[in-house]
Amino acid sequence: MSETRFTDSHEWVRLDGDTATIGITKYAAESLGDVVFVELPQKGRKVGAGAEAAVVESVKAASEVYAPVGGEVSEVNSALEAKPATVNDDPEGAGWFFKLKGVAAGDFAKLMSESAYAEFVKGL
């Protein structure tokens, strides 16, 4: 069973075993506006928790996507390169950016739950 956690920089991470799927939240996608380009990390790249891992560009701005947890990039969502608007259409589903393997459960446990993130967004 997987669980989703959130960061204060508006990334989400869904952990399934020791593999984490990462993307940006619906709030982030709506704030960015129409996404026109994504730059994904290289497969095999090791990233630390909090490190810049990808870039998302919209008609309004470019923004970094940070790794909420550390690990090694095991897969990227190459479909986003051809259709970046998927990030707007389904940011917390088909619009995922990359997957990490070898994720420490302790890193994941430090992140916000869905209810805590919802409260955080209300304060923005």
**pLDDT at residue 106, rounded to an integer:** 87
Give the neighbor-by-neighbor strand order of the sheet with 35-39: 35-39, 52-58, 62-66
Distance CA 52, CA 120 (A): 22
Residue 87, pLDDT > 70, answer: yes
Instruction: Return the residue matching tokens 């917390």.
Output: 92
Q: Give the DSSP H/E element, type plus range, for residue 11.
A: strand 11-16
Distance CA 111, CA 124 (A): 18
**pLDDT at residue 18, rounded to an integer:** 85
What is the pTM (predicted TM-score) of this model?
Answer: 0.95
- List pLDDT tens digits, range 89-98: 999 999 999 9
Number of other CB atoms surrounding residue 90 within 10 Å:
14
Q: How many domains does the chain have?
A: 1
What is the span of the domain harbouring residue 66? 3-122
Q: How confident is the model at residue 115 (pLDDT cuts 50, 70, 90)?
A: very high
* Mean pLDDT (whole number) for 45-49: 96
Angular region, 117: left φ>0, alpha ψ -120 to 50, beta rest: alpha
Q: How confident is the model at residue 105 (pLDDT cuts 50, 70, 90)?
A: confident
Q: How confident is the model at residue 1 (pLDDT cuts 50, 70, 90)?
A: low
